[in-house]
Amino acid sequence: MILSHKYEDYRQQIREFALSEIAPHARRLDQQQVFPYEHIPKLNELGLLGMVVPREYGGTFTDTLTYAIAVEEISRVCGSTGIILAAHNSLCTYPIYVFGTKEQREKYLPPICGGGELGSFGLTEPGAGSDAAGTKTTAIKKGDKWIINGTKCFITNASVGTTFITTAVTDKSKGAKGITAFILKRNLPGFNIGKKENKMGLRGSDTAFLHFDNVEIPDSDRLGPEGGGFKEFMITLDGGRISIGALGLGLAQGALDCALEYARASEEGGQPVADRQDIQFKLADISMQIEAARNFVYEAALAKDSGMKFTRLSAMAKLYASEAGHYASYWAMQILGDEGYTERYPVERIYRDVKLCEIGEGTSEIQRLVISRELLKGTS
Ligand SMILES: Cc1cc2nc3c(=O)[nH]c(=O)nc-3n(C[C@H](O)[C@H](O)[C@H](O)COP(=O)(O)OP(=O)(O)OC[C@H]3O[C@@H](n4cnc5c(N)ncnc54)[C@H](O)[C@@H]3O)c2cc1C
C-alpha cells in the first residue's frame, strides 16, 4: 500500500528511534529475560504510550494507521518491546477510554498515557483462553462494593503495570452476558501478581499470573454496565488484533532485513549468496508475503478509523501477518543456514518471538472462526 509522506515520514522517525535506542538492547533482553524499563520513558517521550487516547487525558490520539506503523517499526527490531506497546495501548488504555466514564478517564488515563506508567489486560484464565466466556473469576456485589476472587494467567505487563482491567462473572445464570469488566490499581489489598512465565519468545516482555483474593473495589471502578464485560473485551480484541498484526508484520520485516543483509554480504563456495537464484526466489516470496500482510494490517486500521465494522478485517490482518511472520522467519533462517541457527543473527529470536502472534489475542483457529462467522452473518 502506498502511503502519503505524512505516514512515511512518521515511519522514518520511529525507525531511526528504534535503530538507535531499541535495537542495541534486543538480544540482551531476550537472553537475560529482562524487562526493558529503560525503554519506557523514551517510548513515553515519543508519545507512544497514549496513542489511542485524546490529549485531554494525556494521550497523543493518533489514527490507527499511525499506531500500527509505530508497533511495526518497533517490533522490526525488538518483538518484546513491540508487545509491551501493543498490550498497553490496545488492551488497556483503549477500553478505559472507550468504555470508561468521564471520571474514570480522568482518574486512570493520565498516569498511563503520558505519565510513563503501564497498563495491562486480564482476560485469560486457566481453562478459559479461547473460551473467554468460560471465565471463573467472580465479583460479588456487597452494597456499593465488589469483592473479586479468581486467577488470570498469561497477562502481559502484569508485574510491571500499575493499572489493570479484568473480567469477572457477576451473574452466572446469564453466561457471557453475566460477565462484567473492572478497573484495578496494583496496590489493592488481596491483589497479587503471581509467577512470571519463562517463555520461548518475547522474553523481554513480562507475562505473569494475576491473583484476586477478596479484592474489594468500589462500584465506581466497574468498567461499563453490569454484564457488558464480555462484549467490551471482544470489541477491545478487534482493535488489539490490528496491533498483533503489526507486531507480526514488523517481525517479518526484521527477518527479511536480516536475510537481505546476509545474502548481500556472504559468500558460499566462492559465490555471493545473493547471486543464487533459489535464494533470490525465496527473498521475493518473503517480500511478497510481507507486502500482502502490510496491506491487510493497514486496511484494517483504515477501516477502524473510518467507523465501519472491522471485525473480519482485523482477524484477517492478524491471521495473515502472523503466518507471514512465521514464513518469513522460517525461510530467512534457512537462507542464513547454520548462521541463522545461532544467536549471532536475530532471525532465530524472531522465529521464536513471532509464534506468539499465532496464539495471543485469539489463536489462528479462532481467527478463522471469526472470519467465517462474519462472512456467514453477511455483516462485513
Ligand atoms: C506471551 C503471551 C502473552 C499473552 N498476553 C495476554 C494478555 O495480556 N491478556 C490476556 O488476557 N491473555 C494473554 N495471553 C493469553 C492468550 O490470549 C491465550 O493464550 C489465547 O487466547 C489462547 O488461549 P489458550 O492458550 O488457553 O488456548 P486454548 O483455548 O486452550 O486452545 C488450545 C488449542 O485449541 C484450539 N481451539 C480452542 N478452541 C477452539 C475452537 N472453538 N475451534 C477450533 N480450535 C479451537 C486453539 O486454536 C489451540 O490450538 C497471552 C498469551 C501469551 C502466550
CATH architecture observed for domain 119-227: Beta Barrel (2.40)
d(CA 124, ligand 1 centre) in Å: 8
Buried-exposed string 94-108: b where 16+ CB fall within 10 A, e elsewhere? bbbbbbbeeebbebb
Query: Which residue, judged by its Cα, is nearest atom 38 of ligand 1?
Result: 130
Give the residues surrounding ligand 1 with Cβ less than 6 Å away: 87, 121-124, 129-130, 154-156, 199, 202, 207, 356, 359-363, 365-366, 369
pLDDT attached to residue 136: 98
Q: Which of 151, 153, 154, 237 to mutate to test the pocket of ligand 1 (most atoms within 8 A of CB)?
A: 154
- For residue 366, the CA-to-ligand 1 centroid distance in Å is 9
For ligand 1, pick from 155, 251, 363 the residue to mutate: most ligand atoms within 8 Å of CB: 363
Could you list the pLDDT tens digit for every one of the 380 residues in the chain? Answer: 889 999 999 999 999 999 999 999 999 999 999 999 999 999 999 999 999 999 999 999 999 999 999 999 999 999 999 999 999 999 999 999 999 999 999 999 999 999 999 999 999 999 999 999 999 999 999 999 999 999 999 999 999 999 999 999 999 999 999 999 999 999 999 999 999 999 999 999 999 999 999 999 999 999 999 999 999 999 999 999 999 999 999 999 999 999 999 999 999 889 999 999 999 999 999 999 999 999 999 999 999 999 999 999 999 999 999 999 999 999 999 999 999 999 999 999 999 999 999 999 999 999 999 999 999 998 75
Q: Which atom of ligand 1 is nearest to the CA of 127?
A: 26
> Which of the residues 323, 358, 361, 374 is marked catalytic?
361
Indicate the CATH number for domain 231-377: 1.20.140.10
What is the predicted pLDDT for the residue at 27? 98
pLDDT, residue 268, reads: 86
Question: What was the pLDDT predicted at 379?
Answer: 74
Say how many Å lie between the CA of residue 206 and the centre of ligand 1.
17
Angle between helices 79-86 and 23-32 in degrees, nearest 10 = 90
Nearest atom, ligand 1, residue 157 CA: 8
Which residue is closest in CA terms to ligand 1's atom 4? Answer: 154
Residue 124 DSSP label: -
Beta-ladder partners of 125: 128
**359 Cα to the center of ligand 1, angstroms:** 5
Query: E strands, the chain, where?
Result: 119-122, 138-142, 145-156, 163-169, 179-185, 191-196, 207-218, 222-223, 267-268, 271-272
Domain ranges of the chain: 5-112, 119-227, 231-377
CA 183 from chain center: how many Å? Answer: 19
CA distance 199 to 211: 20
Q: Which amino acid is at 6?
A: K
137-168 b/e with 16+ CB inside 10 Å = b? Answer: bebeeeeeebbbbbbbbbbbbbbbbbbbbbbb
d(CA 367, CA 245): 12
* Residue at grid coordinates 529482562: 34
Adjacent-strand bridge partners of 141: 146
Q: How far apart are CA 50 and CA 60, in angstroms?
A: 6
State in Å: Cα 63 to ligand 1 middle: 28
DSSP 197: P
| 361 labelled catalytic | yes
Say which CATH topology domain 5-112 has.
Answer: Butyryl-Coa Dehydrogenase, subunit A; domain 1 (1.10.540)
